[in-house]
């Protein structure tokens, strides 16, 4: 399903570096989300966006920045990566109403 793509699939970076994870969806969905998945914590919401130029914090936003200048893109930036941000990051989207989330295949980020 090529509707939502994340890049890169794997990324290794060093502590203190800035890194941006990309997310692109082709459905023109209004809502987009970033989750991180860690053993013992399941999926936790980092940030979400209800439309272009509208973003808001989720459960674990510290250390992350998002932007949404275009409906189809929702990049996630780690301003100064820390080891605790080593995780698998998932982007997701959905249309209006109580519709299910569509997930990308994730980015596995390792911070050394």
Partner 1 sequence: SQQGEEDPQALSIQEGENATMNCSYKTSINNLQWYRQNSGRGLVHLILIRSNEREKHSGRLRVTLDTSKKSSSLLITASRAADTASYFCATDPGWSYGKLTFGQGTILTVHP
Applying CB under 8 A, which residues contact partner 1?
Answer: 31, 33, 35, 40-45, 48, 50, 58-59, 90, 92, 94, 98-106
**Least gap, CB of 38 to partner 1 (angstroms):** 10
- Bridge pairing between strands 42-51 and 19-25: unpaired
Residue 56 forms beta bridges with which residues?
A: 48
**Least gap, CB of 15 to partner 1 (angstroms):** 25
**Least gap, CB of 107 to partner 1 (angstroms):** 10
- Contact between residue 88 and residue 80 where contact means Cβ atoms under 8 Å apart: no
CA 73 to CA 45: how far, in whole Å? 17
Pick between residue 17 and residue 41 the one whose CB is nearest to partner 1: 41
Pick between residue 42 and residue 69 the one whose CB is nearest to partner 1: 42
Residue among 85, 91, 89, 84 nearest 68 (CA): 91
**Least gap, CB of 94 to partner 1 (angstroms):** 5
Pick between residue 1 and residue 69 the one whose CB is nearest to partner 1: 1
User: Which tokens go with 69?
Assistant: 């200048």
Q: Tokens 């990308």 identify what position?
A: 104
Pick between residue 14 and residue 38 the one whose CB is nearest to partner 1: 38
């Amino acid at each position: 399903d090529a509707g939502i793509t994340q890049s890169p699939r794997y990324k290794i970076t060093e502590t203190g570096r800035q890194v941006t994870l990309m997310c692109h969806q082709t459905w023109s969905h209004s809502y987009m989300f970033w989750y991180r998945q860690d053993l013992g914590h399941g999926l936790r919401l980092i940030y979400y966006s209800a439309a272009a130029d509208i973003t808001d914090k989720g459960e674990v936003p510290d250390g992350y920045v998002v932007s949404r200048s275009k409906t189809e893109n929702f990049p996630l930036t780690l301003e100064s990566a820390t080891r605790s941000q080593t995780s698998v990051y998932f982007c997701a989207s959905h249309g209006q109403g109580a519709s299910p989330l569509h997930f990308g295949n994730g980015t596995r980020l390792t911070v050394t």
